Amino acid sequence: MVEFLISSLPALMFFCMVLGLFTGYPVAFVLGAVGIFFGLIGIWVGEFHMIQFMNVMPRIYRQTVENPVFVAIPLFIFMGAVLQHSKVADGLLLSLERVLSRTRGGLAIAVILVGTVLAAMTGMIGASVVVISLIALPLMMQRAYNPSLASGAVAAAGTLGILIPPSIMLVVMGDMLQTSVAALFAGAILPGLLLAICYILYIVILGWSKPEVAPVAPPRAVAEDGSRTSALREFLGAMLPPMALIFVVLGSIYGGWATPTEAAGVGCLGALVLAAAKRQLSFRQLKEMLYGACSTVGMVYFVIFGATLFSYVFRVLGGDEMVIGMLEAMGLDTGMHILIALMVGVFFLGFFFDWLEICLIALPIFGPILATAEFGLVDGAQPVLVWAAVLVAINMQTSFITPPFGFALFYMRGVAPASISTVSIYKGVIPFVAIQIVVVVVAVLFPDLILFLPRYWGLLF
Amino acid sequence: MQRLAGLLRTGSGLIVTVLRYFAHSLSWTMLVLVVVVCTDIITRKLGLHVPYLDSTRFQELAWHLQAVIFCAWIGYAYTQNAHIRVDVFVATLSPRKRSLIEVFGCLLLALPYLLIVMPYAYEFVRVSYNQGEASSSPTGLPYRWIVKSVLYVGFWGVFLANIAVLMRSLADLCDPKPATRGEAHG
C-alpha cells in the first residue's frame, strides 16, 4: 500500500495541483501549498527529508532575485504599461482605420496590425485580451461589423502578442529551457509575421466574398480629417514613433549590441519619451503606469516562487522519472513523438491556464528530455530547444483562442458588449484557429521558418 | 455580528493602508532601475569609468532593485486581487461562496505555505549575515544579506496581506452587505 502511494505520489501531486487551481484561489499560493503538503507527505513516507526544504529558499532566490536575465521582465512589463497608458494603441487604431478606409474590413485589419506592432503591451493573456477588447470591440460594433468577425480578429490580435517579441513569455521560456532569449526572440519573428499576414489575408478575402460582414469605414470617419493624404500623415505620426521604439529594442538585441535586459531598459526610456511627447505623462499617469506595472511584476514573481517550490518537490518525489516512464509506456520514444506529446499536453493546459503556469510547470520537465532527444529535422540541443519553444508558444496561443474552453475567449466574453453572443464569438475564432493550426504544421515540417533568423543573425552556436 | 464585521474591516483596512504605503512609494524603484540599466550601457559603450561603480556593480544593483520592486508588491497585490487565478469554474459563484473559498484558501493553503517557508527564509538571511557573504565576483557588491532580507520582508508582506484578506472575507461572511463595497473586491 505504502509502496503504491510512493510510486504514485508525483501523479497525485499533479492531480491535487489541478484540483487546487480550479478552486479559483490564487495560483501562486496553490502551487506553493501543494509543494509544501507533498513535501510533508514525502517526509512521512520517507521519500523527502525535512532538511530538503532548506534548498527551497536558495532556489527561489537564484530564480527570481539573483537572475540578471529576469531583470528584463519588470522592464518589459513597465514598457508595456507606459505604451498602454499613453494611449498609443487607441491613436494607432483610429489612424490606421482612416488609412484603410477604402478597404473592406479595414478596421479588422487595423486591429491585427496594432496587435502585431504593439505586442510589447502584452503581459498576461487575460489582461491583454481585456485591453484590446475594450478598445476595439465597441468601435467595430459601431461600424456594423459582423460580431463573429470582430471577436475573431480581436481574440487573434490580443493573443498574438505573447509570441511576437519583445514578449515576456519568451524571456521566461528562455530561462526555463536554459537557452538564449535573444535566439527565441529571433525565432518567433517569422512565424509571428506569417500568422499576422494570414489573418489579414483571411479578412481581405472574407470582405471580398461576403461584403456585408466587413464594411468599409463610414464616410464620416474619413471626412472628419479631410483628404486621405492628411490621414496618411497622421497615421505616420501615430505609427512611426512606436515602430521606431520596437525597432531599436529588437535591433539592438539582434545586432548583438545589447542583452535583452539592456534593450528593455532603453525601451522603457524610449517609451517614457514617447509618452511625454504625446503629452500623456502627467504625474498621475506616471503613477498609474508604475502601479500597474509593479502590480503585474509582483503577481508574476510570486507565481514563480510557488512554481519553484512545486517543481523542486515534484522532482525530488520522482516526477521526472514518472513523466519519462509514462512517455515510454505509451511508446513515445523518438524526439518527434515527445514533441507532439508536449504540444498536445500544452494545448489542453491552455484551456484553463495562462502561459505563466504552463511554462513554469511543463517546460522544466520536458526541456531536458527534448534537449537530448533525436530529431530527423533539427540537430543540436540549442536549435532543438529554440524550435520546440517557439512551436510551444504558437501552440499555446492557438489553445487560448480555441472554443469552447479557450482561455482568452473566457476573458473576452467578460468584457464584450452584450450584442455579441457567445456562439458568434466561437464561430468567429474558428477560421483563426484553422490558420494557427496550418502555421504550426508548417513550422513543424519546415523548421527553417523558426530557425532561419536565429542562425542568420548568429544567435545559435 | 455587524460590529464584529466592522471591526474586522477596520483591521483589514489598516493593514492594507500600511502595505499600500510601502508598495506605492517603492514602485518608484522602477524608474531607478531604468536609470541604472541605461547608465550601465552608456558608460560601458563609451568606455567611461564611474568610480566604485563598474559594470558588474551596476548589473548586480539592477537585480537588487528588481528584488525591491517585486517584494514590495507580492503582498499588496493580493489585497488588490491582482494575483492570477483560474476562475473559469468559480466566476459565476455568489459573492458569499467566493468569500468562503477565500477564507478556506487563506487558512488551508496560504498560511501553511507561509508558516513553513518563512522560517527557512529567515535562516537564509541569518546564514548569509553570519558568513559575511558578498558577491562571488571580486568587483561585485558586498553584503548579500541585505537583498536576502528584502526577500524575507517580502514574505512578511504576503503574510500580512493574507491576514488582511482573511479578515475582510470573514467580515463579508458575517455581514454580507459590505459598508465599503469598493474595497471588498478591489
pLDDT, tens digit, 9 for 90 and up, residues A21-45: 999 999 999 999 999 999 999 999 9
What is the DSSP code string of B54-87? Answer: -HHHHHHHHHHHHHHHHHHHHHHHHHTT-S----
To the nearest 5 percent, what fractions of chain A are helix, strand and coil?
80, 0, 20
Amino acid at A425: I
Contact (CB, 8 A) for A461 and A382? yes
- Contact of A288 with chain B, judged by CB distance below 8 Å, is answered with no
The Cα A375–Cα B53 span in angstroms is 47
Q: What is the mean pLDDT of residues B84-105?
A: 88
Q: Cβ–Cβ of B62/A36 closer than 8 Å?
A: no
- Summary mean pLDDT of chain A: 89
Q: DSSP H helical segments within A317-354, as ranges?
A: 319-329, 335-349
Distance CA(A155)–CA(A399), nearest Å, equals 11
Say if A36 is an interface residue toward chain B (CB within 8 Å).
Answer: yes
Residues of A in contact with B116 (CB under 8 A): 36, 53
> Mean pLDDT, to the nearest integer, of A360-387?
85
Q: A117 with A91: CB under 8 angstroms? A: no
CB spacing of A302 vs B83 below 8 angstroms: yes
Across the interface, whether the CB atoms of B105 and A23 are under 8 A apart is answered yes
In chain B, the percentage of residues whose pLDDT exceeds 70 is 95
Closest CA to A188 of A456, A459, A458, A449: A449
- Within 10 angstroms of residue B21's Cβ, the number of other Cβ atoms is 11
Q: Is A268 on the interface with B (CB under 8 A)?
A: yes
Please tell me the distance from the alpha carbon of residue A32 to that of residue A25, in angstroms, as a whole number.
12
Residue A10 pLDDT level (bands cut at 50, 70, 90): very high
Over residues A80-94, mean pLDDT: 86
Establish if A285 touches chain B: CB-CB under 8 angstroms: no
Nearest to B116 among A36, A124, A262 (CB): A36
Q: Show the CA angle centred on residue A108, arms to residues A106 and A109, nearest 5°.
A: 65
pLDDT at A224: 53
3-state helix, strand, coil in chain B (%, to 5): 75, 0, 25
CB contact under 8 A, B34 and A75: yes
Q: CA-CA distance, A70 to A61, in Å (whole number)?
A: 12
Lowest-pLDDT range of A143-147, B12-16, B164-168: A143-147
Nearest-CB residue to B148 (from A61, A78, A272): A61
The confidence band for B2, taking pLDDT boundaries of 50, 70 and 90, is confident
- pLDDT surpassing 60 at residue A222: no
For residue A103, the one-letter residue type is: T
Q: Look at residue A441 and tell me whether its pLDDT is greater than 90.
A: yes
Q: What is the reported pLDDT for B127?
A: 94
Contact criterion met (CB below 8 Å) for A32 and B117: yes
The verdict on a CB contact (< 8 Å) between A74 and B69 is: yes
Tell me A62's DSSP state.
Answer: I
The CA-based angle B128-B132-B135, given to 5 degrees, is 85
CB contact under 8 A, A303 and B117: no
| Chain A residues 389-418 with a CB less than 8 Å from chain B | 405, 407, 410, 414
Within 8 A of B97 by CB-CB distance, chain A residues are: none
Which pLDDT value is given to residue B181? 47
**CB count in 10 Å sphere of residue A142:** 11
pLDDT for residue B185: 42
Cα–Cα distance for residue pair B170/B8, rounded to 1 Å: 8
Residues 6+ apart with CB under 8 A from A173: A184, A359, A363, A389, A392, A393
How large is the average pLDDT for residues B172-183?
Answer: 66
- Answer whether residue A289 shows pLDDT above 80: yes
> What pLDDT is attached to residue A379?
80
A 198-237: CB under 8 A from B: none
CB-based contact, A78 to chain B, within 8 Å: yes
A241 and A91 Cβ atoms separated by less than 8 Å: no
C-alpha cell at B180: 465599503
| Cell representation of residue A232 | 496618411
Show Cβ contacts of residue B15 under 8 Å, excluding neighbours closer than 6 positions.
B79, B160, B161, B163, B164, B167
Cα A327 to Cα A319: distance, rounded to the nearest angstrom: 12
